[in-house]
Structure 1
Amino acid sequence: MPTSSLGPEVIEIWFRAVDVTGVFCAAVIGAKLARERRFDAVGFATLAVISALGGGMTRDVLLQQIPVAFTDPFYLGGALLGATVAFFWRLESKWTNRMITVADALCLGCWAATGAQKTLALGLGVLPAMMMGLTTAVGGSIIRDVMVGKIPKIFGGANLYATPAATSAVIMVVFFKLNMPVLGMALSIIAALIFVLLAQWRGWVLPEALDLSINLTPRQFRQLLRLRDTKPQDSKDTNPVTKDKNTSGSD
């Protein structure tokens, strides 16, 4: 009895710790962008909060729920702490960036799985769950980049980020349907971590659109239409069976 009652609580605390750690790291990433743009303290706090909590808040609003950032002080506190740390320290060393990348990958899988799980728990379908998982994972970074006039990195030109989030959301959907959400959450986090680190190491990116163009003038288009209209008549005249029937009829 004590073990079964404490087990889920310990797991929930662990996942919550990963979630808040991701909030902190996402806030640091947003605040580092504020440093690049030479923003003041208000700019640091704004970009940090948007980067860390924007996706989750958007998800909760779309699902008609009170955002968790308003009910759990650790989320907003973690975002502001990340902004404060990045405001006083540059955090540009190689090992610091690696640690932030690992923590960001962990929270990516956690957020994608959380968004998918919450959506499925409300009785919605698989596609809405996938959309909410992606919104939770990458929504904050999209809003942050748009606010500073940048094209979001997930739209191209950067290593895979949205794809690992989608993979984590799929894993969560599958295990939620199997009534194993805790295992799904753990596997989603691990999968996102491995996927993101491999993408960083190997430089994986999604293929861009093919540069193919078809130039057709109005005159050429009219000629194609004319050929299409004349083909049945030509085939009728040259058909040997029809020709024989016409010949036999004349005899």
Structure 2
Amino acid sequence: MQVLPLGLWLDLLGTFVFGLSGGMLAVRRELDVFGITVLAVAAALAGGMLRDIALGATPPAAFADGCYLVAALGSALCAFFGHRLIARLNKPVMILDAIGLGLFAVSGCGKALSFGLDPLPAVVLGILTAVGGGTVRDVLVAEVPRVLREEVYALAALLGALVVVLGAALDLNEGWTAAAGVAAAAAFRIVSVWRGWQAPRAPRSR
């Protein structure tokens, strides 16, 4: 039995979780099965596609490997049939979004480092991977993307990507580093919403 690489596991998990967040948002907006599928697939695949295009890794993994589309469609089905169960969570879209944010920040930064990028561009690409799917999802339902709102969002992705860069610099175990990065980003995002933290704003002119 072939063991899948860590980066692929992170990508597929992030794809499924972000797809589930998109599907649940579609259910909340009372969209039909087609709308649920579109929103789930867009949220699931957009961030990774942006990352791969930026890296010149074409065709993007979402098109080169059918597992990504299967994961995205599977998330849509789970949202369609299991939304009542998932909705028992407190703020399910936010929690799923936070977990997906961490997974994609880590996988995006890790893939960028594996392509030979320096730490700073790798961090930027990790953030882009993390916020891309959620941005497309929010735009499709006419919401201001979360990355532009009051709640801390991109900062959580930044934290996850920084953990990956630090782990690589210290030559720490890749698996434990990835787990720590995902946990740090997701926890920071969830706590920021719970505590009402906001990113700094420019002072208003009089």
Same-fold call, TM cutoff 0.5: yes
The residue aligned with 2:60 is 67
TM, length-normalised to structure 2: 0.83
Q: Retained in 2: the 8 A contact 1:199–1:205?
A: yes
| Aligned residue among 148, 171, 176 for 2:141 | 148
| CA distance in 1 between partners of 2:89 and 2:10 (Å) | 18
| CA distance in 1 between partners of 2:29 and 2:94 (Å) | 21
Q: Aligned residue pairs: how many?
A: 203
The residue aligned with 2:46 is 54
Where do 1:96-245 residues align within 5 Å? 96-97=89-90, 101-157=94-150, 159-180=151-172, 182=174, 183-213=176-206
Q: Retained in 2: the 8 A contact 1:25–1:100?
A: no
TM, length-normalised to structure 1: 0.70
Equivalent AA in structure 2 for residue 31 of structure 1: G
| CA distance in 2 between partners of 1:189 and 1:168 (Å) | 6
Which stretch shows the higher mean deviation, 88-97 or 102-111?
88-97
Q: Retained in 1: the 8 A contact 2:21–2:97?
A: no
Q: Retained in 2: the 8 A contact 1:133–1:166?
A: yes
| CA distance in 2 between partners of 1:81 and 1:19 (Å) | 14
Equivalent AA in structure 1 for residue 181 of structure 2: S
Using the aligned pairs only, state the percent identity: 36
Please tell me whether residue 29 in structure 1 is matched to residue 13 in structure 2: no
Distance 1:171 1:26, change over 3 A: same
Equivalent AA in structure 2 for residue 173 of structure 1: V
Q: Retained in 2: the 8 A contact 1:18–1:107?
A: no
Please tell me whether residue 77 in structure 1 is matched to residue 67 in structure 2: no
| Aligned residue among 31, 46, 53 for 1:39 | 31
Distance 1:99 1:127, change over 3 A: same
Equivalent AA in structure 2 for residue 28 of structure 1: L
| CA distance in 1 between partners of 2:95 and 2:9 (Å) | 15
1:147 is displaced (CA, Å) by 2.6
Give the number of the structure whose alpha-carbon radius of gyration is greater.
Answer: 1
Q: Which has the higher contact order (CA 8 A, sep 6+)?
A: 2
Cα RMSD (Å): 2.7
1:100 is displaced (CA, Å) by 6.0
Equivalent AA in structure 1 for residue 113 of structure 2: L
Q: Retained in 1: the 8 A contact 2:161–2:181?
A: yes
Equivalent AA in structure 2 for residue 176 of structure 1: A
1:79 is displaced (CA, Å) by 1.2
| CA distance in 2 between partners of 1:146 and 1:114 (Å) | 23
Structure 2: 5+ residue runs without aligned partners?
none
